[in-house]
Amino acid sequence: DIQMTQSPSSLSASVGDRVTITCRATQNIHDYLNWYQQKPGKAPKVLISVASILRSGVPSRFSARGSGTEFTLTISSLQPDDFATYYCQQSYTTPYTFGQGTKLDIK
Amino acid sequence: QVRLQESGPRLIKPSETLSLTCSVSGGSISDYYWSWLRQPPGKGLEWIGHIYYTGRTNYSPSLKSRVTISLGTSKKQFSLILRSVTAADTAVYYCARDVEDYSGTYSWFAPWGQGTLVSVSS
């Protein structure tokens, strides 16, 4: 299985801050990388697919980049609605696997 | 728009079989893969497996010996069976659609059901 590792596991930030979350894969997954946002008690929601493509309806303050084994998700100016847990997921091969999550909370 | 809803028992005993159904509304299951995923309380996400509308399945190796995913008799449901459960199988279980890009090369999960917490306890 491809292991996905996110860093940091948790992050405290303030409204207006710029934050970056990193996701690393144990092997080359090219650009088969998705990012999800999950709020407490809710199902995850896809933000980014194919490593950098913003899904419809996702605010432009979210961006992502990367290829191969290292990927990043950046939120340019945190808004109150962004405090949540973020997961990366590889779709290069089954079994599909997720990072352990990055919990973003308010400082 | 497509919506998914999980249903099934919320509490089962160790060694019993977990059985969940995902009902699809706003569309049919044709032309897509459909996945089951789970999330133990306070932990991360795990993909269990998926089924294509033709019935072809693919399971996570870690669960393959205990899992069966099948289509319902209508084109609006698919199901998960997990045998010989233990406390480690306590989790929120989600169903989700595997969406592909126009080329069929890339995929992601959308939408998801709201999830159902299944607890394994005697």
Q: Across residues A26-37, what is the average pLDDT?
A: 98
Q: What is the pLDDT of residues B5-19, one digit of tens each?
A: 999 999 999 999 999
Asked whether residue B110 carries a pLDDT value surpassing 90, the answer given is yes
Question: Given CB atoms, is B100 within the 8 Å cutoff of chain A?
Answer: no
Q: How far is A6 from chain B (nearest CA, A)?
A: 11
Question: Given CB atoms, is B113 within the 8 Å cutoff of chain A?
Answer: yes
Question: Given CB atoms, is B81 within the 8 Å cutoff of chain A?
Answer: no
Asked whether residue B102 carries a pLDDT value surpassing 90, the answer given is no
Residue B29: closest CA among B72, B93, B80: B72
Note whether A98 contacts B115, CB cutoff 8 Å.
no
B34 — pLDDT class (breaks 50, 70, 90): very high
Residues of A in contact with B112 (CB under 8 A): 43-45
Interface test with B, best of A5, A96, A98 (most B CBs within 10 A): A96
Task: Calculate ∠ Cα B99-B76-B52, nearest 5°.
Answer: 45
Asked whether residue B74 carries a pLDDT value surpassing 90, the answer given is no
**Cβ B34 vs Cβ B95: under 8 Å:** yes
Q: What is the mean pLDDT of chain A?
A: 97
CB-hemisphere CA count at 13 Å for A69?
A: 7
Residue A87: closest CA among A23, A29, A41, A27: A23
Q: Which residues of B54-87 are buried (b: 16+ CB within 10 A; e: fewer)?
A: eeebbbbeebeebbbbebeeeeebbbbebeebee
3-state secondary structure (DSSP) of residue B28: coil
Question: Given CB atoms, is B107 within the 8 Å cutoff of chain A?
Answer: yes
Secondary-structure breakdown of chain A: helix, strand, coil percentages, each rounded to the nearest 5: 5, 50, 50
A-proximal residues of B, 6-45, CB under 8 Å = 35, 44-45
- List, as one string, the DSSP characters of B51-91: EETTS-EEE-TTTTTTEEEEE-SSTTEEEEEE-S--GGG-E
Q: Which two tokens stand for residue A93?
A: 């091969």
Q: How far is A34 from chain B (nearest CA, A)?
A: 7
Residue B52: closest CA among B100, B18, B117, B89: B100
pLDDT recorded at residue B48:
98
The H or E element containing residue B35 is strand B33-39
pLDDT recorded at residue B104:
85
Instruction: Please tell me what DSSP assigns to residue A101.
Output: -
Sign of CA dihedral A95, A30, A33, A22: positive
Question: Given CB atoms, is B102 within the 8 Å cutoff of chain A?
Answer: no
Q: Which two tokens stand for residue A56?
A: 């419809």
